[in-house]
């Protein structure tokens, strides 16, 4: 009986050792698989990025090769802001290239934007005016697709003509600044706000301090100034085509159909129809500036960090 028990115990010990050995072997095998997977990934990633970069360059260069008279298209899509695809730097670069091409019969800026930075919008507006003055033989038209609101319309108003779809959203000519107040919340939580500044109003818009009426009045005056810049740009750009100024600068939006009646737009049109009817060509070339993959990745990370900082500060003025 004792011998049987000893044998069973030895057998169980052997089985356990074999099981642990098998498990350890599986773990070692899994570690090596993970190691080699990471190694292959690190080895292939640079080549993949380089291939995509070269692919981007090839596509862009091929797309911009002129095959004769054409309508040059530049796309403005998304929020108009620094480090975004619709930044002034990016849009202006595309416009300059479009005007520079010897076979460009006319330029079409397509806009699908809710607005953004008044400064970035003004940069694009001013460059559009300059390019048209420098190249009087090359007309610049805007085609609004889904939306040209606020800063998007600011930019559009610099064009010779603005074309829309019946259902396009147009307008929102106004300025806003967003802020929050957490005074009651921190009081309930028993938190004491300690802020040291040099300068009476350096703590402007601090969400943890009670609203200051003097500062509020100052900010409203500042917003009114920016609004006036916006209004004047639209009036100058539309050159007497606004049917009325009543309600146009209150921040309201309209459909493309109603925008034509108000003089905010000149007619219906798409890229293809404007190329054919205004420039007498079916050929369309895209001059939109596109970031390379690696640059785009770095930019997105930088923008994400900047946005978080901006949300904490919450002091942005926007044409939204």
DSSP state of 319: B
Catalytic position from the list 150, 157, 168, 172: 150
75 is catalytic: no
- Torsion sign over Cα 278, 281, 286, 287: negative
Whole-angstrom Cα distance, residue 91 to residue 88?
5
Would you tell me how many other CB atoms lie within 10 Å of the CB of residue 299?
15
| HEC sequence for 99-120 | HHCCCEEEEEEEEEECCECHHH
CA distances from 115 to 111, 164, 301 (A): 10, 17, 22
Catalytic position from the list 33, 100, 166, 202: 202
Q: Are 314 and 207 within 8 A, CB to CB?
A: yes
Question: Residue 17 half-sphere exposure, CB side, CA atoms within 13 Å?
Answer: 6
- Nearest alpha-carbon partner for 140 in 83, 72, 88, 205: 72
Q: Which residues pair with 268 in a beta bridge?
A: 164
Whole-angstrom Cα distance, residue 289 to residue 86?
9
Q: Are 110 and 141 within 8 A, CB to CB?
A: no
202 is catalytic: yes
CA dihedral 63, 65, 68, 74 (to 10 degrees): 50
Query: Which are the catalytic amino acids?
Result: 150, 202
């Amino acid at each position: 009986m004792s011998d049987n028990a000893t044998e069973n115990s030895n057998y169980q010990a052997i089985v356990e050792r074999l099981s642990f050995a098998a498990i350890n072997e599986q773990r070692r095998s899994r570690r090596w698989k993970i190691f080699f997977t990471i190694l292959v990934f690190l080895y292939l990633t640079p080549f993949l990025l380089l291939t995509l970069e070269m692919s981007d360059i090839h596509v862009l260069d091929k797309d911009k090769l002129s095959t004769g008279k054409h309508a040059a298209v530049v796309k403005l899509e998304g929020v108009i802001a620094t480090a975004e695809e619709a930044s002034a730097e990016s849009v202006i670069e595309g416009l300059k290239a479009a005007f520079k091409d010897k076979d460009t019969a006319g330029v079409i800026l397509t806009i699908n934007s809710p607005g953004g930075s008044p400064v970035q919008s003004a940069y694009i507006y001013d460059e559009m005016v300059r390019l048209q003055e420098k190249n009087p033989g090359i007309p610049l038209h805007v085609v609004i697709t889904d939306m040209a609101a606020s800063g998007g319309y600011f930019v559009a108003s610099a064009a010779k003509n603005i074309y829309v779809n019946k259902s396009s959203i147009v307008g929102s000519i106004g300025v806003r600044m967003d802020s929050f107040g957490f005074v009651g919340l921190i009081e309930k939580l028993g938190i004491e706000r300690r802020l040291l500044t040099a300068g009476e109003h350096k703590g402007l818009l601090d969400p943890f301090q009670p609203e200051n009426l003097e500062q509020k009045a100052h900010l409203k005056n500042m917003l009114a100034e920016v609004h006036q810049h916006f209004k004047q740009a639209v009036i100058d750009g539309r050159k007497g085509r606004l049917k009325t100024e009543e309600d146009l600068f209150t921040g309201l939006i309209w459909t493309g159909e109603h925008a034509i009646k108000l003089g905010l737009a000149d007619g219906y049109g798409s890229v293809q129809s404007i190329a054919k009817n205004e420039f007498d060509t079916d050929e369309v070339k895209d001059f939109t500036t596109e970031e390379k993959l690696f640059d785009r990745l770095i930019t997105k990370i930088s923008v994400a960090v900047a946005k978080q900082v901006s949300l904490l500060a919450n002091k942005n003025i926007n044409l939204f």
